[in-house]
Amino acid sequence: MSRRTDRVVQEKAPKDLVTDADLASQKAIRKILLEAFPDHVFVGEEEGENDPPDDVRRGDASARPCWVVDPLDGTVNYVHRLQSFAVSIGLYANGKMRLGVVYDPVTEELFTAVDGCGAKCNGQPIKVSDCTDVGDSLVACSFPAGVQGGDPEVTRFVKILERCRSLRRLGSCALNMCYVAAGRLDAYWATNVSAWDSAAGTVIAREAGAVLTGYQGDEMDDWNPRFCVAATSPLHQTLVSLLSENDH
């Protein structure tokens, strides 16, 4: 937050930004985690620490626990001094995401979850909405940087836009998943995000009662997340069928 109005911005790739705040945040998180857990592995969005060891990716029982960190999810919003950015920290162990922490420094909301223990926001339990009908749903989605009009993401976007109550593109995968968990959004899908974007949110959404699978209804791959998360099974089934109907 101290760098929000005075930051150095670079372009990692066309329309994909990084700031000195992203880098400083990752460095601070990495230091804290690895000092506390020196035998753990660290994966983060910045500075080339993008890939987990092969045994972690495979989910081997002998693999070390792996922290999966997005030091600033929603960098474009941050650069434009818009809300909806967060710090996201997940822990992958024994073949799945086990712990999630997402902090929004603007609203000072801290979303947390541990596998099997429920989800919370600032210490208070949260749960998904009871929305079952796509026509009543408020849905969010993510687009890749540099999306083109003819891309499959745009086709999916229009298809859901025609059916849901309203559709949002808020700019932070981590917060979108937390908002589904807290019942503020009814569903969210993404076919272009990275493991660090969704790692923490996966646990938080799941522990709040959300239905979470690959966007075609298959099992979600934590290391290659292409997913749909929804508050209820009926809503999830409708969205998955709409999202995947041109893919087969």
List C-alpha distances in Å: 173 to 40, 87, 89, 180, 212: 25, 11, 13, 11, 14
CATH number reported for the structural domain that contains residue 199 in this entry:
3.40.190.80
The pTM of the full predicted model, rounded to 2 decimals, is: 0.94
pLDDT at 247 over 70: no
R_g of the chain computed on alpha carbons: 17
Q: State pLDDT tens for residues 36-47.
A: 999 999 999 887
User: What mean pLDDT is predicted for residues 89-111?
Assistant: 97
Q: State pLDDT tens for residues 178-192.
A: 999 999 999 999 999
Q: Give me 61's structure tokens.
A: 């029982």
Same domain, 80 and 142: no
Same domain, 101 and 25: yes
**Is residue 26 classed as helix, strand or coil in its secondary structure?**
helix
Q: Which domain does 208 fall in, by range?
A: 134-244
In the numeric block, the tokens 């569903």 are attached to 187
Rounded to an integer, what is the distance from CA 11 to the centroid of its chain? 21
Element (H, E) at 235: helix 233-244
* 130 phi, psi to nearest 5 deg: -105, 20
Same domain, 144 and 186: yes
Domain final position from 125, 157, 179: 125
How many domains are contained in the chain? 2
Residue 182 DSSP class:
T
Same domain, 111 and 168: no
Same domain, 87 and 159: no
Domain final position from 94, 125, 156: 125
- What percentage of the chain has pLDDT greater than the value 90? 79
Domain final position from 70, 101, 125: 125
In a domain, 184, yes or no: yes
User: What mean pLDDT is predicted for residues 120-143?
Assistant: 97
CATH number reported for the structural domain that contains residue 20 in this entry:
3.30.540.10
In a domain, 2, yes or no: no
Q: What was the pLDDT predicted at 16?
A: 65
User: What mean pLDDT is predicted for residues 155-183?
Assistant: 97
Same domain, 15 and 39: yes
The mean-pLDDT minimum among 12-26, 30-44, 184-198, 210-224 falls in 12-26
Same domain, 160 and 217: yes
